[in-house]
Amino acid sequence: MVTVRRRELFRMAAVGTLGAAVGGVTVAAIEADRNTMLFAHTRIPQERRNRARLVAQDIVGVDATGADVRAHYASLLVGNGPQPATTPLDIAVVGAGVSGLASAWMLAQAGHRVRVLEGSDRFGGRIRTLREPFARTGGHAEAGAMRIPTSHTLTTGVLRRLRVPTRPFLLSHPNRVVQACGKRLTRSEYDNDPAQIADVFGLDPVHGRALLDRALHSADITSDSGVDEWAEFLARHDELSLRDWLLDRRLTDQHIDYLGSTEGLTARMGLSLTHNMMTAAYLGPGTELVEIIDGTDRLTSELGFNALAAGAELQTNAEVTRIDGRDGRVRLTYGPDAAQLEADRVVVTVPFSLLRHMTFTPSLSYGKQRAIAELHHDAATKTFLEFGTRWWDGHGGVDVTDAAPRVSVYPSHPVGDGGVVIASYTWSDDARAWDALPPEHRAAECLDHLTERYGDQVRQAWTGGFASHSWAQDRWAAGEAAVYMPGQAVEIGPDTRTTEMDGRIAFAGDGTSTRGRAWIEGALESAARACTDLGVTARQA
């Protein structure tokens, strides 16, 4: 008997049109495969279909009856707010990131007695605005969340309600650089003539973004897709990585290398297809982005202020190490002195990567334990350099390179004559390569790369100011976000959202959201869901 490995099977699927692929499997072959996907006729177990449907409901934003739960979440967060509870409870919230602060705000508005326990010495979670390293120019930089799609209506609604001002985030600029295999072009040069780089890979003149979009859109999944369409797609294809899917779409290794270099995807090719399909369906090239004026931490500051104003208590340096729910109420052990807090209900909002260090008694369900042990949290590292004068043209935009920095991001609205540049923004294995270096070495290497790209004017303008932040090395994050590996959306995702200990413990955080994972939207959505799980309802008009 001959054993064919899964990876080889995908390669065999692509070989049938390899002659055409090397020169130009771009549009026609991808379109022809629209209804002939690999494994399209494989029998799918009913249990998998059931779980896929749960994930599809989470993506679309409906419950099992078809009711619009996102409308309910919007009512809690940006509408009339929560209905006052008939029986106020003692509720502990573990973690003071966006989901923790939003949960505390809603629960306190409902009249519950709320106490937030945050392990670190700050609140905000993976929203972290850096200011002190850039005092020379008065600028700031975002170690974490830095942009918000206007299609994220919970986030934009909360910003309006809290009167947090925004302005456009400029992702594109014609003079930014695309660099691959020694070829360096401006963005406009590449957009107008992609052959200059495609030729290096032996490919027809197709733009990397167009190639990727066609491959992803060949699944016929869009922002208008309903539960049935998403459930069928997930049941059949959630086990695939992005690389698997591209090979199945009859792209070759040359195409994949080309996409990795020009779209900054090399390190993320092994991640879940579902993760990339979310982006293709809901965050296409025309999506408008905004940033928060004066720093993203204005959002968490306002959330914290409003939670306090509603009656919640916030405590930092209070890491929760144990949650015990054996005797009706729930006891939390926290802080360096192992202090204890009793509560009727608990909302756990810290990343699942940190829950591995927390003890639960009685034990959590098998599904939750598996999610805590296996859910993939990706790495991301940013290195920032401060410049006294702007040597770059215009505002905003990104460089994409196959060199170590991978992506450089220029400020959309720099302060004064200079500004802070994200000299390197990397993910996954690319980020881990930077994590091996101390911050000052990261800064020096980034300065060298920018100087090689733009000339000595870069080095002359540098103030000496820099910062670097690795979320994989962050004690209170242990990763930049929960990003699914192949199969995890269906196999693990539903269990991240269930309550535990007879409904007394709810879980929130962007990692528990399918559609909003790695975005502020997912943190807010999950907070509203967790509060709903604990009985919070929306006030009627």
CA-angle at 422, arms to 417 and 427, nearest 5°: 170
pLDDT score of 4: 37
463 found inside a domain: no
pLDDT score of 13: 37
Q: What is the pLDDT of residues 335-356, one digit of tens each?
A: 999 999 999 999 999 999 999 9
Q: What is the pLDDT of residues 158-195, one digit of tens each?
A: 999 999 999 999 999 999 999 999 999 999 999 999 99
Q: Which residues are annotated as a binding site for substrate?
A: 147
Alpha-carbon distance 186 to 319, whole Å? Answer: 48
Using pLDDT thresholds of 50, 70 and 90, give the confidence band for residue 246. very high
Alpha-carbon distance 488 to 484, whole Å? Answer: 5
Average pLDDT of the chain, as a whole number:
92
Alpha-carbon distance 261 to 132, whole Å? Answer: 34
28 found inside a domain: no
Using pLDDT thresholds of 50, 70 and 90, give the confidence band for residue 22. very low
327 found inside a domain: yes
Q: What is the pLDDT of residues 70-109, one digit of tens each?
A: 999 999 999 999 999 999 999 999 999 999 999 999 999 9
141 found inside a domain: no
User: Is the confidence at residue 40, as pLDDT, over 80?
Assistant: no
Using pLDDT thresholds of 50, 70 and 90, give the confidence band for residue 541. confident
pLDDT score of 21: 37
User: Is the confidence at residue 27, as pLDDT, over 80?
Assistant: no
Please say whether the beta carbons of 407 and 266 come within 8 A: no
> Per-residue pLDDT averaged across 278-290, rounded?
87
> Per-residue pLDDT averaged across 374-392, rounded?
97
514 found inside a domain: yes
Using pLDDT thresholds of 50, 70 and 90, give the confidence band for residue 25. low
Phi then psi dihedrals of residue 291, to 5 deg: -125, 160
Q: Is 85 exposed, middle or buried (0-12, 13-18, 19+ CB in 10 A)?
A: middle
* Closest to 522 measured CA to CA, from 61, 56, 170, 52: 61
Using pLDDT thresholds of 50, 70 and 90, give the confidence band for residue 66. very high
40 found inside a domain: no
9 found inside a domain: no
User: Is the confidence at residue 529, as pLDDT, over 70?
Assistant: yes
395 found inside a domain: no
- Spatial neighbors of 510 by CB under 8 A, at least 6 apart, are 98, 99, 481, 482, 516, 517, 518, 519, 520, 521, 522, 523, 526
pLDDT score of 33: 52
pLDDT score of 9: 37
Alpha-carbon distance 521 to 537, whole Å? Answer: 20
Alpha-carbon distance 408 to 32, whole Å? Answer: 37
Q: Which residues are annotated as a binding site?
A: 99, 144-147, 320
Higher pLDDT: 25 or 307? It is: 307
User: Is the confidence at residue 241, as pLDDT, over 50?
Assistant: yes
Share of the chain above pLDDT 90, in %: 87
3-state SS class at 376: coil
Alpha-carbon distance 359 to 333, whole Å? Answer: 10
Which CATH number belongs to the domain containing residue 118 in this structure?
Answer: 3.50.50.60
Q: Which residues are annotated as a binding site for FAD?
A: 99, 144-147, 320
Q: What is the pLDDT of residues 202-232, one digit of tens each?
A: 999 999 999 999 999 999 899 899 999 999 9
What range does the domain containing 96 cover? 68-125+295-376+478-533
Q: What is the pLDDT of residues 110-167, one digit of tens each?
A: 999 999 999 999 999 999 999 999 988 999 999 999 999 999 999 999 999 999 999 9
Using pLDDT thresholds of 50, 70 and 90, give the confidence band for residue 12. very low
The total of structural domains in the chain comes to 1
User: Is the confidence at residue 49, as pLDDT, over 60?
Assistant: yes
- Entry pTM: 0.92
Alpha-carbon distance 106 to 103, whole Å? Answer: 5
